Amino acid sequence: MSMDQVMFQSTFISRFYLRLMEVFAAMALLLAVVGIYGVMSYFVRERTHEIGVRVALGARPVDVLGLVARLGIKLTLSGVVAGAALALGLTRFIASILYEVKPTDPLTYVAVGTGLIAVALLACYIPARRATKVDPMVSLRYE
């Protein structure tokens, strides 16, 4: 066997677990984005009447955008904090497959948390933007 073949066989399991973790991480991120988008869309749809009243009383689009974004940020931050706490609790299970990274590396936790917050804010933007375009007359006639 060549040295390349020996290296390939010796690292096959590690690479397999790495690829599997990548797939699960991508699926988790996709589920998080779809979930946040769904919750925020539902929030905007259910509060269309209230948003219309706010706009009729003089709320600017920035105010409406802030209303929706604040809820999204609250949900996101609570999820990131809960996820970080669970990840810290489960570090001993993944410590054996990490290479030159401590399971409690603060830079990793900050980078992942920041990335998740950025993706969640993007998922909140579409429903928030839709909320700024609510026509007060249509929403007041809604009921």
pTM of the model: 0.73
Tell me the pLDDT tens digit for each residue of 17-63.
Answer: 889 989 999 999 899 889 888 988 898 888 888 888 888 888 898 99
| pLDDT tens, position by position, 110-135 | 998 999 899 888 888 888 888 888 78
pLDDT at 26: 93
Q: For the stretch 84-120, what's the b/e string if a residue is b when 16 or more beta carbons lie within 10 angstroms of its beta carbon?
A: eeebeeeeeeeeeeeeeeebeeeeeeeeebeebbebb
Contact 59, 108 (CB under 8 A): no
Provide the token pair at 51: 């948003």
- Model confidence at 89, pLDDT cuts 50, 70, 90, reads confident
The closest of 128, 125, 126, 115 to 29, measured between CA atoms, is 115
> How far is residue 49's CA from residue 39's CA, in Å, rounded to a whole number?
17
Domain ranges of the chain: 33-140
Distances (CA, A) of 59 to 20, 72, 124, 125: 48, 19, 19, 18
Q: What is the pLDDT of residue 139?
A: 72
65 touches 132 (CB < 8 A): yes
What is residue 24's predicted lDDT score, i.e. its pLDDT?
Answer: 95
Q: Rounded distance, CA 113 to CA 91, Å? A: 16
